[in-house]
């Protein structure tokens, strides 16, 4: 039986205070994080070690911090090996798509952090202009949940699979949904600052587009799945390496600011590709949790600290098809 390794990158809300502290004990990580801070235009070392939960909840801080954590973990795990020697397919959830784009070689690491910083600031500005939020709706019948979200005047911002949909929109309407949840569901407010992936972010998309469409990028070097439909980019054009074109990736990353995250479809594609191992980069846990419900039998490792590096390397050694073929 063949093996296929997927590397997945978590989204906003996965950050926790002090999450970068243990990584800074590894050789070379301080310099790498310094380069990320320069690209982001903010002190990511400070935010990743001593800033409190409220500070790193700020969208403008959270987004570059999460992408930096994912890429610090990736480089520590690979220890100099190129991703194309290890990773068969990659995907990221929401802001994690920027980290996944770096995994796929579309962006270099500092470029991904720099670009996501523009995204984070644009979305923070949009969120500040009109109060809004997001809540996870867990359980229930998927069709009934989507109908209830629409009936409440809200948007299904993330369709995550595994019995989880994230509703987004006006805070009062979110409170009403929580008071009258769909049958057999729990409604859980999320620690984010606005209704991302909805029309509430129109101004952010317009602002981010001006930056993203001219950002330095190269065609993907391995299969990169899109939040838009779960498919890889090769269907939009083969590109230089047969995995799609950078222009399409940047266009989708821009549209994603106001478009729903279809993580359910990303997981369906992983299943269709016969993925046998899932490595979730730091700050890991959410996506492997979803995978355990939607991709039963697929082995996974969630990287939360350097203590997980050896388990990640072991997963790679046993599941990387491209690595086995090298």
**Measured between alpha carbons, how far is 65 from 96 in angstroms, rounded to an integer?**
11
Contacts of 265 (CB under 8 A, 6+ apart): 159, 229, 230, 231
- First-last CA distance in the chain: 18
319 is catalytic: no
3 is catalytic: no
**Measured between alpha carbons, how far is 37 from 65 in angstroms, rounded to an integer?**
9
124 within 8 A of 207, measured Cβ to Cβ: no
What CA–CA distances, in Å, run from 33 to 44, 99, 110, 254?
7, 14, 9, 25
Q: Which of 94, 117, 135, 246 is catalytic?
A: 94
CA 249 remoteness from chain centre = 14
Task: Pick the closest to residue 257 from 188, 165, 110, 157 (CA basis).
Answer: 157
**Measured between alpha carbons, how far is 63 from 34 in angstroms, rounded to an integer?**
16
CA 8 remoteness from chain centre = 7
Q: Which of 93, 118, 197, 243 is catalytic?
A: 197
Helix (H/G/I), strand (E/B), else coil: 51:
coil
Strand 133-139 with 5-9, pairing: unpaired
**Measured between alpha carbons, how far is 284 from 70 in angstroms, rounded to an integer?**
8
Lookup: tokens for 14: 């996965």
Q: Which residues are catalytic?
A: 94, 197
């Amino acid at each position: 039986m063949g093996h296929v390794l997927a590397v997945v990158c978590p989204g906003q809300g996965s950050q926790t205070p002090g999450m970068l502290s243990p990584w800074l004990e590894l050789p070379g990580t301080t310099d790498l994080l310094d380069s990320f801070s320069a690209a982001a235009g903010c002190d990511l070392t400070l935010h990743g070690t001593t800033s409190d939960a409220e500070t790193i909840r700020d969208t403008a801080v959270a987004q570059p911090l999460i992408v930096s954590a994912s890429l610090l973990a990736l480089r520590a795990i690979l220890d100099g090996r190129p991703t194309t020697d290890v990773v068969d397919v990659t995907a990221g959830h929401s802001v994690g798509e920027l980290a996944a784009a770096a995994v796929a070689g579309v962006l270099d690491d500092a470029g991904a952090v720099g670009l996501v910083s523009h995204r984070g600031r644009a979305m923070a500005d949009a969120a500040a202009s009109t109060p809004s939020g997001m809540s996870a709706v867990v359980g229930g019948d998927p069709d009934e949940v989507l109908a209830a979200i629409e009936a409440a005047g809200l948007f299904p911002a993330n369709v995550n699979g595994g019995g989880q949909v994230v509703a987004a929109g006006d805070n009062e309407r979110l409170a009403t949904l929580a008071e009258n949840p769909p049958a057999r569901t729990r409604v859980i407010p999320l620690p984010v600052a606005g209704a991302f992936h909805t029309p509430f972010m129109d101004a952010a998309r317009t602002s981010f587009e001006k930056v993203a469409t001219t950002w330095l990028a190269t065609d993907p070097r391995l299969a990169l799945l899109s939040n838009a439909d779960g498919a890889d980019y090769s269907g939009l054009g083969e590109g230089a390496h047969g995995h799609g074109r950078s222009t399409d990736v940047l266009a989708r990353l821009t549209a994603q600011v106001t478009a729903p995250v279809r993580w359910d479809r990303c997981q369906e594609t992983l299943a269709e590709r016969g993925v046998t191992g899932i490595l979730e980069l730091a700050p890991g846990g959410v996506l492997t949790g979803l995978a355990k419900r939607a991709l039963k039998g697929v082995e996974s490792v969630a990287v939360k600290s350097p203590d997980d590096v050896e388990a990640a390397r072991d997963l790679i050694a046993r599941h990387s098809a491209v690595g086995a073929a090298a």
